[in-house]
Structure 1
């Protein structure tokens, strides 16, 4: 599995076209128990955001370069995200954000900050 994990990380950080090309390979590897379902979830989140869609599993965080404030990038189903995460072997949003980013997960706060997050992401996209 270690070799597959290395290959996954290369694909996860590649450009969108490469990710699209290798998505079926990662899906097959999950079916064959050669990589973790969580890897596929992370890849799908990253690809969705790059395609201008909302992420499914809440794995992608945005850091405002002006304030240093951290945000969860837009989610398709914020209320059901923990159930979806559990299905692929990912910890709850609360655990993930606390351990990885020293952030708290609060659904009310997420919704309150969502317009600001979307505005910041749009500004970042326009600046490129």
Structure 2
């Protein structure tokens, strides 16, 4: 759903969150859609899952809410630390 239209993503996000609360869907998967939805609304993301390529051609985080607690939020839903996540996007 993360790559669905913004309207469809927004419409299905409550059901995705409920499925995660009920243990039917991993929160780590839902986080990608939560972040995409926030960015679609011109807000800062919560989990740091969304990147863009900067002018130097390197991946960079889209704006994140309260960056000092980012790894704490990521860990709470089973995501790796942001530094490890960003390393996956570095050129070999």
TM-score calculated relative to the size of structure 2: 0.91
- Give the whole-Å Cα distance in 2 for the aligned partners of 1:67 and 1:92: 24
- The SS at the match of 1:62 is strand
- The one of 21, 27, 47 equivalent to 1:57 is 47
From the CA coordinates, give the structure whose radius of gyration is larger. 1
CA contact (8 A) 2:48 2:70 kept: yes
TM superposition shift of 1:67:
3.2
Aligned-residue Cα RMSD (Å) equals 1.4
Aligned to 1:86: 75
CA contact (8 A) 2:20 2:27 kept: yes
**Cα separation, partners in 2 of 1:67 and 1:102, compared to 1, 3 Å:** closer
- Give the whole-Å Cα distance in 1 for the aligned partners of 2:53 and 2:82: 17
- The SS at the match of 1:71 is strand
Aligned to 2:61: 72
Decide which structure has greater helix share: 1
TM superposition shift of 1:47:
0.6
Query: What are the ranges of 5 or more consecutive residues in structure 2 without an aligned counterpart?
Result: none
- Give the whole-Å Cα distance in 1 for the aligned partners of 2:14 and 2:65: 22
- Give the whole-Å Cα distance in 2 for the aligned partners of 1:49 and 1:24: 17
- The one of 25, 34, 45 equivalent to 1:35 is 25
Q: Does 1:24 align with 2:11?
A: no
TM superposition shift of 1:78:
0.8
TM superposition shift of 1:86:
0.2
- Which has the bigger relative contact order, CA under 8 A and spacing at least 6? 2
